[in-house]
């Protein structure tokens, strides 16, 4: 047993690798949340070991994916580590997950919410998905089912976990957050929402937020970039408000909006190789800057 130090970064991955080698471990078991899982998957990859993932929360779609998101030691997005296989076993006890703080399940809803919209963008642009293939109708169906499940059960599940109970709605949301989103984003692809998340890590104040909370705002930004129908944007805003996801920069702890900071975020969003390139049209930092502020105003207007 070894305690995770809190950040999925190369120094932590290398630290665990040394422990694995010193103890002659045969299997890596990651127990906890998304960054624990991503670290465990990376360690198993580099050491060529079997990996078992045991989520105690449902805050991200990391458990099922063949991907680790690597950050710097300071928590700034560094790179995606694409892995040759998904974890060997994913073991979820919904009773355990339902007892975790409600905010973690809500963050998972934010992460899962992006799955459909990003897959749709990749389908339209014929961009490669995370496995090097193309988004299929089957992938789109999984991604759409993920979003529909959030709309149907998100509020009821949030209320249930606030009461520390596991209902059918909670189990449905755990499935959506963990499995439908995980397989959906890999098979569909990532686009604007996750690129915006990566850009937001450039502002230290947002490090207080969970991955899925920033992705939720990133989804709004992507919809503004797409000039999505008003009804669709309002549907997303309604879901965010029902479960308690951020819809404004203030919700992301950015209490003073500094143009130079937002432009720094926008430039990081548009960094070469990030998933904003999977959008079905060219996106510039100026476009992202405007979309961030536009999404912020929509969020404030809805509030």
Tell me which residues are annotated as active site: 111, 194, 197, 211
Task: Identify which of 64, 76, 54, 62 has the alpha carbon closest to the alpha carbon of residue 7.
Answer: 76
CA distances from 92 to 74, 111, 154 (A): 30, 18, 19
**What per-residue string of b and e applies to 82-112 under the rule 16 or more CB within 10 Å gives b?**
ebeebbeebebebeebbebebbbbbbbbbbb
Cβ-Cβ contacts under 8 Å for 296 (sequence gap 6 or more): 248, 249, 257
What is the C-alpha separation between 60 and 179, in angstroms, rounded? 10
Q: Is residue 297 classed as helix, strand or coil in its secondary structure? A: helix
Pick from 19, 56, 21: nearest CA to 36: 56
The candidate with the shortest Cα–Cα distance to 43, out of 6, 87, 93, 97, is 87
């Amino acid at each position: 047993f070894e305690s995770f130090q809190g950040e999925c970064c190369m120094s932590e991955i290398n630290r665990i690798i040394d422990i694995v080698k010193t103890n002659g471990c045969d299997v890596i078991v990651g127990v906890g949340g998304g960054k624990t899982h991503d670290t465990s998957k990376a360690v198993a990859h580099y050491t060529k070991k079997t990996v078992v993932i045991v989520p105690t929360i449902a805050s991200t779609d990391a458990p099922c994916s063949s991907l680790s998101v690597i950050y710097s030691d300071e928590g700034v997005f560094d790179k995606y580590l694409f892995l040759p296989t998904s974890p060997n076993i994913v073991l979820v006890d919904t009773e355990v997950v339902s007892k975790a703080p409600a905010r973690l399940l809500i963050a998972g809803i934010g992460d899962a919410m992006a799955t459909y919209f990003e897959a749709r963008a990749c389908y339209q642009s014929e961009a490669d998905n995370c496995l090097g293939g193309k988004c299929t109708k089957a992938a789109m169906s999984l991604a759409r089912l993920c979003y529909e499940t959030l709309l149907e059960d998100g509020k009821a599940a949030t209320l249930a976990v606030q009461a520390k109970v596991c209902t059918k709605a909670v189990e449905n949301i755990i499935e959506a957050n963990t499995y439908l989103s995980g397989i959906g984003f890999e098979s569909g692809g990532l686009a604007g929402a996750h690129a915006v998340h990566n850009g937001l890590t450039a502002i230290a104040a947002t490090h207080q937020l969970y991955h899925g909370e920033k992705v939720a705002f990133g989804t709004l930004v992507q919809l503004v970039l797409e000039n999505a129908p008003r009804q669709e944007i309002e549907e997303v805003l309604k879901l965010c408000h029902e479960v308690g996801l951020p819809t404004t920069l203030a919700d992301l702890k950015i209490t003073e909006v500094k143009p130079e900071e937002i432009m720094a975020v926008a430039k990081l969003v548009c960094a070469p190789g990030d998933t904003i390139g999977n959008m079905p049209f060219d996106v510039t930092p100026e476009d992202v800057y405007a979309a961030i502020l536009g999404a912020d105003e929509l969020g404030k207007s809805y509030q």
